[in-house]
């Protein structure tokens, strides 16, 4: 999705916050200055923080997807928030070993979304649209999404929608997201899941724009120029830009593409979001410029009845990642988006290998984000961002491709047991009684999102978040549905 002022309506808080993107460097979070980062790349523990962090080394046993392939039976050893070892034999000197009987892999990376909007239920578009500007000016969109969001932004505490969305991400195995507004986070609050275009690993080396500037005289054009300059100087690793979201042949999208090239925005750090209106020649043109692509086929198909020529992008050598976009028109989870992507690639003539599809949401996604040295692989010394899934298929990669959120058994971020089976949580957590008990598709799970709270400050539970949201907007989209 993307914002635009072209419909002539009065700009509300929705427009101001949603359309802002992250075009400039954000100030250093005060907690980074005060506490620094731990080995897992998260803010160093305060006295009552990170109560779910295991004390001492532990290991997970199951099928392990490693940087070089899949082990049908392996051990992932975690100590101090980082991966200590990946090995075939049972580790010595590790007292706690969880027999997962599952598939162990890096946490999933969702490279495009608008997390604050994931409190909404799915929207049924009443018609097909030529481009994103058409549906954004429709009355039904304003009634079902934009107007309720304006109310939520003024009625619920800052960060409520984002924290609810981050819990939804965890429930689907996601440990890093793109697209959260810098305005949506409470001051002094670290994200529950990593935000790849905000502060991450002690730096802010990514930028994002919702819309390409409409002209060289607009407010955002100097910001775009600065971004391009910073990329050329090696100060930025990724620049996320919504571009040409619509049907191929759409005149407005065609004009946008030419403006994109004329403004010099096609760079090796540029990550194109959607680009569904680009034809094969244009795909090859941006591939030659070194651009990367984030693909959200479900949302494209529901709004435009066609999607990006992703198979052409892959054939052109363009790195491709996936994003679930948002609930109103996108997928309910990144795992669901993978299934849509697989079918669409097959329709475009590419039978994607399961390992390559998994790479689009793990190692490949990390490389696109400029975070390939930190995320996307289970490699010793890296932060332990880990997903454990139930195993229902002999091939570990195919198991991931077929997985649903109900298969999620445990999610670790920087070694913290943020979300997991209640029995495993009790065995591993430093404070076994901490966290919130949940029923996820009939499975007893435990959620702990207290690591960002200063001593003595209560952290809203999922139940608290639901109550705050539904008091203002009763049809909030459920997480476990």
pLDDT of 10 strictly over 60: no
pLDDT of 185 strictly over 80: no
What pLDDT is attached to residue 239? Answer: 98
Q: How confident is the model at residue 232 (pLDDT cuts 50, 70, 90)?
A: very high
**Can you tell me the mean pLDDT for 131-141?**
89
**Can you tell me the mean pLDDT for 208-214?**
93
Average the pLDDT over each of 14-28, 59-73, 211-225, 305-319 and give the range with the smallest value.
14-28
pLDDT of 384 strictly over 80: yes
**Can you tell me the mean pLDDT for 435-443?**
95
What pLDDT is attached to residue 20? Answer: 67
pLDDT of 360 strictly over 60: yes
pLDDT of 184 strictly over 70: no
Q: How confident is the model at residue 392 (pLDDT cuts 50, 70, 90)?
A: very high
pLDDT of 31 strictly over 80: no
pLDDT of 9 strictly over 60: no
| Residue whose token pair is 């705050």 | 468
What pLDDT is attached to residue 51? Answer: 53
**Can you tell me the mean pLDDT for 167-185?**
89
pLDDT of 1 strictly over 70: no
What pLDDT is attached to residue 159? Answer: 86
What pLDDT is attached to residue 333? Answer: 96
pLDDT of 456 strictly over 70: no
Q: How confident is the model at residue 402 (pLDDT cuts 50, 70, 90)?
A: very high
What pLDDT is attached to residue 277? Answer: 98
Give percent of the chain above pLDDT 70: 91
Q: What domains lie within the chain, and their CATH numbers?
A: 13-31+109-368 (3.20.20.140), 42-106+373-472 (2.30.40.10)
What pLDDT is attached to residue 449? Answer: 80
What pLDDT is attached to residue 5? Answer: 40
**Can you tell me the mean pLDDT for 460-478?**
93
- Tell me what the pLDDT averaged over the chain comes to: 91
């Amino acid at each position: 999705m993307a914002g635009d002022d072209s419909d002539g309506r009065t700009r509300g808080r929705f427009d101001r916050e949603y359309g802002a993107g992250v075009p400039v460097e954000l100030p250093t979070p005060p907690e980074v200055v005060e506490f620094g980062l731990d080995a897992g790349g998260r803010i160093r523990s305060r006295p009552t923080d990170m109560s779910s962090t295991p004390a001492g080394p532990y290991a997970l046993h199951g099928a392990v997807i490693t940087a070089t392939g899949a082990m049908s039976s392996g051990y992932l050893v975690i100590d101090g928030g980082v991966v200590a070892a990946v090995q075939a034999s049972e580790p010595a000197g590790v007292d706690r070993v969880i027999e997962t009987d599952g598939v162990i892999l890096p946490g999933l990376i969702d490279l495009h979304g608008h997390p604050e909007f994931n409190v909404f239920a799915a929207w049924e578009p009443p018609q097909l649209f030529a481009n994103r500007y058409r549906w954004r000016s429709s009355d039904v969109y304003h009634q079902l999404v934009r107007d309720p969001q304006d109310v939520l932004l003024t009625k619920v505490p800052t960060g409520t929608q984002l924290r609810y969305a981050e819990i939804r991400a965890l429930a689907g195995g996601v440990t890093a997201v793109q697209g959260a507004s810098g305005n949506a986070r409470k001051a002094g609050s670290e994200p529950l899941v990593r935000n790849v275009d905000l502060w991450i690993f002690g730096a802010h080396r990514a930028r994002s724009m919702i819309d390409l500037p409409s002209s060289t005289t607009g407010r955002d054009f100097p910001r775009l120029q600065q971004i391009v300059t910073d990329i050329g100087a090696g100060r930025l690793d990724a620049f996320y830009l919504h571009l040409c979201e619509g049907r191929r042949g759409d005149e407005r999208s065609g004009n946008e593409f030419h403006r994109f090239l004329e403004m010099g925005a096609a760079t090796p750090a540029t990550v194109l979001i959607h680009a569904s209106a680009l034809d094969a020649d244009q795909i090859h043109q941006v591939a030659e410029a070194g651009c990367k692509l984030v693909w959200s086929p479900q949302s494209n198909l529901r709004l435009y009845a066609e999607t990006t020529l992703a198979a052409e992008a892959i054939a052109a050598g363009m790195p491709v990642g996936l994003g679930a976009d948002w609930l109103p028109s996108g997928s309910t989870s990144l795992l669901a988006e993978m299934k849509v992507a697989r079918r669409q690639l097959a329709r475009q003539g590419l039978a994607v290998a399961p390992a390559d599809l998994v790479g689009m949401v793990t190692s490949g996604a990390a490389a696109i984000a400029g975070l390939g040295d930190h995320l996307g692989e289970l490699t010793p010394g890296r932060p332990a961002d880990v997903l454990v899934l139930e195993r229902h298929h002999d091939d570990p990669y195919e198991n991931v491709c077929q997985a649903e959120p109900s298969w999620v058994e445990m999610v670790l971020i920087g070694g913290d047991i943020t979300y997991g089976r209640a029995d495993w949580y009790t065995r591993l957590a430093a404070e076994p009684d901490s966290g919130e008990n949940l029923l996820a598709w009939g499975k007893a799970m435990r959620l702990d999102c207290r690591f960002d709270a200063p001593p003595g400050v209560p952290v809203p539970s999922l139940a608290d978040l639901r109550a705050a949201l539904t008091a203002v907007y009763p049809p909030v989209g459920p997480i476990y549905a």
